[in-house]
């Protein structure tokens, strides 16, 4: 098992490098000259040219790419913001907690609400409960999260005055963002849980479990659910990606100072180091979550685990 985790961790390195190269390349084609933007409208051509040299913008693509990769992966430095001159790493660190808080609590809601909804729908197949759950799920995957957020603001903050409009503070500031951000995830989770449960419920071993007189509860939670877990966990991981991407938009709606709003203001100001690092950090976070998902697979699916242990045993034997 340790060998498997180690192997997966090593595989992360090329992926991280790949993300950095990809995002750097995309940003390289950004229109607009940060040097000119930084100096304002009054700057002369000479001043702009000097600034470009100072920022290293005059170098060709490959040199800049190599410099960037060295800076990020060897010096472990995300660079400084063009405009504020402050460290991007520090800026991201101070904002990361808001983005992570929203993304992780959304993922929690997705699991806590989405999975039970899917199980209820699957066990009451074609009944009223199934129809209601699936209608909610269908709505969930179709409603734009940011619109839901706005509508909830109108209802709960403006009309009823129960919750704050925007900004950050106590837990009450995060209720609406998390609900809005997780609704699509809950819906996807419910749909996937339902379909993989339905597939498993039809199988012979569930029929056997029923035939030997187990209670419906035992059948469901001991025999059906564990076997349906793999695709369900996959959706949890994918959901995290959706939540991280969605958090960027949701932060915008609620003016939450997370990585998303940091990046959006940087996009408007052509502050490349911030945009680059923001996508890089979120991408790497997502990759780690997916790695975690793969490791959890091995724990819930004895077949995957056995596969690796068998290989390890074989390796030991051949070594001896």
Partner 1 sequence: MRHKELTVETRIKKEGQLTQVMHRLRKNKLAMAGLYIILILIIVAILSPFIAPYDYTKMDMSLKYAKPSLKHIFGCDDLGRDIFSRLMYGSRASLSLGIIATLVSTFIGIIIGSVAGYYGGKIDNVIMRLLDVIQAIPGMLLSIAISAALGSGFINTIIALAIGGVPMTVRLLRGSIMTIRNQEYIEAAEKINATKLRIISRHILPNSIAPLIVSVTMGIGNTILMAASLSYIGLGIQPPTPEWGAMLSAGKPVIEKYPHLCIFPGLCIMVVVLAFNMLGDGLRDALDPKLKN
Query: Which of 79, 116, 245, 257: binder of partner 1 (CB under 8 A)?
Result: 245
SS3 category, 193: helix
C-beta of residue 190 within 8 angstroms of C-beta of residue 136: yes
Query: Which of 34, 246, 258, 273: binder of partner 1 (CB under 8 A)?
Result: 246
**147 binding partner 1? (CB under 8 A):** yes
CA dist., res. 43 & res. 170, Å (int): 45
Which residues on adjacent β-strands are paired with residue 87?
80
What does residue 265 show for φ and ψ, rounded to 5 degrees?
Answer: -70, -30
Helix, strand, coil distribution of the chain in percent, nearest 5: 80, 0, 20
Q: Among residues 20 and 111, whose Cβ is nearest to partner 1?
A: 20
Q: Among residues 113 and 263, whose Cβ is nearest to partner 1?
A: 263
Please report, as residue ranges, which positions from 180 to 199 form the binding site for partner 1 (by CB under 8 A): 195
Query: Which of 144, 167, 231, 302: binder of partner 1 (CB under 8 A)?
Result: 144
SS3 category, 212: coil
Q: Among residues 31 and 85, whose Cβ is nearest to partner 1?
A: 31
CA dist., res. 270 & res. 209, Å (int): 62
Q: Among residues 214 and 297, whose Cβ is nearest to partner 1?
A: 297
CA distances from 146 to 237, 281, 286 (A): 21, 23, 21
Least gap, CB of 215 to partner 1 (angstroms): 26
Least gap, CB of 147 to partner 1 (angstroms): 3
C-beta of residue 224 within 8 angstroms of C-beta of residue 200: yes
Q: Who contacts 222 (Cβ-Cβ below 8 Å, separation ≥6)?
A: 209, 214
**166 binding partner 1? (CB under 8 A):** no
**176 binding partner 1? (CB under 8 A):** no
**117 binding partner 1? (CB under 8 A):** no
**138 binding partner 1? (CB under 8 A):** yes
Least gap, CB of 173 to partner 1 (angstroms): 17
CA dist., res. 316 & res. 310, Å (int): 10
SS3 category, 125: coil
| Residues 187-218 as b or e (16 or more Cβ within 10 Å = b) | bbbbbbbbbbbbebbeeeebeebeeeeeeeee
Least gap, CB of 158 to partner 1 (angstroms): 5
Least gap, CB of 260 to partner 1 (angstroms): 9
Each residue 278-297 as x (binds partner 1 by CB under 8 A) or -, in order, gives -x--xxx-xx--x-------
CA dist., res. 139 & res. 178, Å (int): 17
C-beta of residue 126 within 8 angstroms of C-beta of residue 227: no
**160 binding partner 1? (CB under 8 A):** no
DSSP 8-state class, residue 180: H
Please report, as residue ranges, which positions from 21 to 40 form the binding site for partner 1 (by CB under 8 A): 22-23, 26-31
**274 binding partner 1? (CB under 8 A):** no
**253 binding partner 1? (CB under 8 A):** yes
**313 binding partner 1? (CB under 8 A):** no
Q: Among residues 158 and 320, whose Cβ is nearest to partner 1?
A: 158
Residues in touch with partner 1 (CB under 8 A) = 14-15, 18-19, 22-23, 26-31, 138-139, 141-147, 150-151, 153-154, 158, 195, 241-242, 244-246, 248-249, 252-253, 263-264, 267-268, 275, 279, 282-284, 286-287, 290
């Amino acid at each position: 098992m340790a060998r498997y985790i180690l192997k997966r961790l090593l595989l992360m390195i090329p992926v991280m490098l790949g993300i950095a190269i990809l995002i750097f390349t995309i940003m390289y084609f950004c229109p607009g000259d940060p040097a000119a933007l930084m100096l304002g409208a009054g700057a002369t051509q000479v001043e702009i040219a000097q600034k470009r040299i100072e920022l290293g913008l005059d170098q060709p693509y490959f040199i800049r790419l190599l410099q960037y990769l060295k800076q990020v992966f060897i010096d472990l430095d995300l660079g400084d913001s063009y405009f504020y001159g402050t460290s991007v790493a520090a800026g991201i660190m101070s904002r990361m907690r808001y983005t992570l808080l929203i993304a992780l609590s959304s993922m929690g809601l997705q699991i806590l609400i989405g999975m039970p909804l899917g199980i209820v729908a699957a066990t009451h197949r074609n009944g009223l409960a199934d129809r209601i759950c699936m209608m909610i799920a269908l709505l969930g995957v179709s409603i734009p999260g940011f619109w839901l957020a706005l509508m909830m603001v109108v209802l709960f903050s403006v009309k009823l005055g129960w919750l704050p409009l925007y900004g950050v503070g106590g837990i009450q500031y995060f209720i609406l963002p998390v609900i809005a951000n997780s609704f699509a995830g809950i819906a996807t989770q419910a749909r996937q849980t339902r379909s993989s449960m339905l597939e498993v419920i039809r199988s012979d071993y569930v029929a056997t479990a029923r035939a030997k007189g187990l209670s419906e509860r035992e059948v469901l939670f001991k025999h059906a659910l564990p076997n349906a877990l793999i695709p369900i966990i996959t959706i949890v991981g994918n959901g995290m990606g959706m939540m991280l991407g969605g958090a960027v938009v949701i932060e915008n709606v609620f003016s939450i100072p997370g990585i998303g709003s940091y990046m959006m203001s940087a996009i408007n100001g052509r502050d490349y180091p911030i945009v680059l690092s923001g996508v890089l950090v979120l991408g790497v976070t997502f990759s780690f979550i997916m790695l975690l998902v793969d490791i959890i697979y091995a724990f819930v699916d004895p077949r995957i685990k056995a596969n690796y242990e068998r290989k390890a045993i074989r390796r030991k034997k051949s070594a001896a």
